[in-house]
Structure 1
């Protein structure tokens, strides 16, 4: 069953103004197409160079290679952001530099010979910020595909796939050869015709083309002419382009691949558990309870009066003061129980304190599946984790796993021995910071070995969405996302909280 899309030229189908929210328009158009074709195989088509990959890095790599080879310093300090011309117009870049004419000719010959060499492509391929997160989102959608439509010639197919799958790995993005459409006419010949033919070929294979993203206006114009049904959205990536701007129907332009314009956290809530970090005070609890986030995390420690309180910093490092109002663990458990929410307790001490926390939780009566115990190995140790596992076998029990990352990547058999020991203690989830090097590789290894992973320490909304798109078991964040009306205060580290200026 299909539903008719708005006719081209109607108010509903008119191209949006150039307001910069081109990714938001892409998301809205995708939803319209899915509603119109609920069982259709949808495809979003991306160009590569100047759209996914920022070729300026490749340009700089080749020019610095000239200096390395010749022992010169003509390009000392050259940065990608200094490149303001298309890669095919390097002579214009060189004219702007104080180079002798004979050197300029020599550099230009060097550049043209090496720009698309395998070495330069492998070393200089860098994605634009955010683009791989957007691609990841669409690849996760049912019956939705991402195709690549490039002016690169067929002989670069294997190298292109190798490079893109290498840079995509950090976001768990992968590209397939059957969805890579290349230029059969060779370098810089018939690019516009090849791009249009690729759109027709995708449709002939049964795909509904939702949108096309390309940095060259001439390519977009050619593909728009091939859009017989007038239902494709054309997105101009305003990076660096060689052809002249021109009016293109059903088009929108932008530079920034804003993931928050495409993805809602509610779209991911069914796949990833979200945890509101640092519910250590009444104000943050109110913000949490006003949200639809299920899990609240609190830091539990003993205060100088031997009460179980919620506080991030230890009292010996950040002494209490007379006006400090303690937030008691029992009060948090009571409020969460009334609201039907789940609790993650970061235990800052083991032993007798952990036993008292266990008793308090048991008295408050939450289901075991609504309780999560967390702590550092050095704080809780084997005995405490074993007691937690015996007392609450249906709960989550996690440790900070940053110390494991180098072992997972560099000594996997050692890492597996450590993980087997942790599993024997009753640990069943590993927490990793968002900034961990080679995070996707860590996730792949841990999940392959049967472990669930929690990601934490995400700095902002974009980072949170990128973390969630990796599909770990859970993501813990401060929810300091005012653009989504989340006003998390944070845990109160060093007595500081997130602050917001509300209009």
Structure 2
């Protein structure tokens, strides 16, 4: 991915006004065809009432989907049964329903495609050996796959083998590249899992500008890398994406700036927003702490960071603050007084609290006193309702809006979080995504372009060394 990123940026610098295109093969490059093999073998068992392939999974497939003899070799099947399975498998291998049902992408590939589709004057084309007769099922299946990543493939940029002759695939792929050039596209890169196809296309590339990438997955032809080819087996967004570019379109929030060490790391970064977990300690002072004081050991008392000290430091450095209010009542009273004492303007304030913690009165009070601040509540509780009964969910969300809430948050780990994000945005809600566990997940979340993403920023690859809020369990494990 690093070579692709560098080549793409070089091409954009060289041709700032051109329409650039990255060309992907489908099977073995975007779609993991091992799932098709598993689907067909399990379907054989179901249809024939057998258990020859019980327990088979994608990790057990090491041969190209057309190499049925090699696929069946590990199974101790009598010759007549093996022959019957072989015949049945080959008859159904290109069945549109089977291919559609078994579509699974390689990890990370749709995030990579999403990133390219977000770039100005940049397109993604598909160049496949599938026959033209499968055009409709192919584009529909791929767009179903892409929907969760907000990827949509353009049917006009899908190139297929017109005759259904597998021997003519290389020529068809070369013609597809020629067609793209005639349409005015400048081809940046071609990604394919078959070395034979890459070699044929590279030999036909007279201009010598295209970077050829071998998706080192499962392939049929011999491994003979052509010139200007790099090989890799993983699609890693972290090697492709510059976080600063996304940061211009999505607000980033550094989670759990609750102690002096994390505060130092935050201030050394270029992130604007710090999230603080605020509680009253047993003596009635506002301190930064994620867990309730009655839960576990917690931070040693002399390490607790007072809210006032942290606000003063952030204000002096020109940083904005997101206050995660863990409690209502006296805590809210004290927080609002502390914020006022430090002179924070509304445009640098963001309040977050659970519905059950702050309630209608708490949210309304925040909105009255800070009419231009962001006021947020988690909406994970509403996800099942959003997806199953959207009309009822909309009524609930209207109530939250009446309380003064103007942003909702979703935990990245919530089942069907992408669908929930789509549903909330269709209703006009800005959404904050949180709970992203690592850099790849963070980039996937950010590329969906929500209003904001909150993360621990423990991303050494980007020289960010956040460590999140110190929870009681964390502290107990190191003391």
Q: TM-score range by the shorter chain?
A: over 0.9
- Deviation at residue 264 of structure 1 after TM alignment: 1.8
Report what 1:407 is aligned to: 385
CA distance in 1, matches of 2:165, 2:469: 56
Within-5 A mapping of 1:154-233? 154-233=132-211
- Which of 11, 35, 50 does residue 33 from structure 1 map onto? 11
Within-5 A mapping of 1:32-431? 32-318=10-296, 324-431=302-409
The answer (yes or no) to whether the contact 2:21–2:187 under 8 Å persists in 1 is yes
CA distance in 1, matches of 2:214, 2:311: 52
- Deviation at residue 436 of structure 1 after TM alignment: 2.3
Note closer, same or farther for the CA distance 1:389–1:185 as it changes in structure 2 (3 Å cut). Answer: same
Deviations 1:378-407 (CA, angstroms, capped at 9, x unpaired): 000000100100111111111011101111
CA distance in 2, matches of 1:210, 1:113: 37
Q: Name stretches of at least 5 consecutive residues in structure 1 with no aligned partner.
A: 1-22
Within-5 A mapping of 1:455-494? 455-494=433-472
CA distance in 2, matches of 1:321, 1:183: 64
CA distance in 1, matches of 2:405, 2:238: 34
CA distance in 1, matches of 2:11, 2:145: 29
The answer to which of 25-34 and 320-329 deviates more is 320-329
CA distance in 1, matches of 2:87, 2:225: 36
Deviations 1:80-115 (CA, angstroms, capped at 9, x unpaired): 111111111111111332110100110011111112
The answer (yes or no) to whether the contact 1:152–1:187 under 8 Å persists in 2 is no
CA distance in 1, matches of 2:239, 2:444: 13
Q: Name stretches of at least 5 consecutive residues in structure 2 with no aligned partner.
A: none
- Deviation at residue 321 of structure 1 after TM alignment: 7.2
CA distance in 1, matches of 2:169, 2:303: 68
Deviations 1:162-216 (CA, angstroms, capped at 9, x unpaired): 1101111111111110010111121413000001110000000000000000000
Note closer, same or farther for the CA distance 1:60–1:187 as it changes in structure 2 (3 Å cut). Answer: farther
The answer to which of 400-409 and 139-148 deviates more is 400-409
* Secondary structure of 2:253's aligned partner: strand
CA distance in 2, matches of 1:88, 1:322: 62
The answer to which of 320-329 and 126-135 deviates more is 320-329
Aligned residues: 478
CA distance in 2, matches of 1:174, 1:497: 45
CA distance in 2, matches of 1:79, 1:325: 50
**TM-score, with structure 2 as normaliser:** 0.98
CA distance in 1, matches of 2:215, 2:291: 46
Note closer, same or farther for the CA distance 1:292–1:173 as it changes in structure 2 (3 Å cut). Answer: same
CA distance in 1, matches of 2:154, 2:429: 28
CA distance in 1, matches of 2:200, 2:158: 18
Deviations 1:246-283 (CA, angstroms, capped at 9, x unpaired): 24111100000011000021110000000000011111
* Secondary structure of 2:465's aligned partner: coil
- Deviation at residue 323 of structure 1 after TM alignment: 5.1
CA distance in 2, matches of 1:268, 1:65: 43
- Deviation at residue 322 of structure 1 after TM alignment: 6.0
CA distance in 1, matches of 2:219, 2:14: 33
Within-5 A mapping of 1:8-27? 23-27=1-5
| Coordinate RMSD, CA, aligned | 1.5
Note closer, same or farther for the CA distance 1:39–1:321 as it changes in structure 2 (3 Å cut). Answer: closer
CA distance in 1, matches of 2:388, 2:206: 53
The answer (yes or no) to whether the contact 1:408–1:415 under 8 Å persists in 2 is yes
CA distance in 1, matches of 2:269, 2:47: 59
* Secondary structure of 1:146's aligned partner: strand
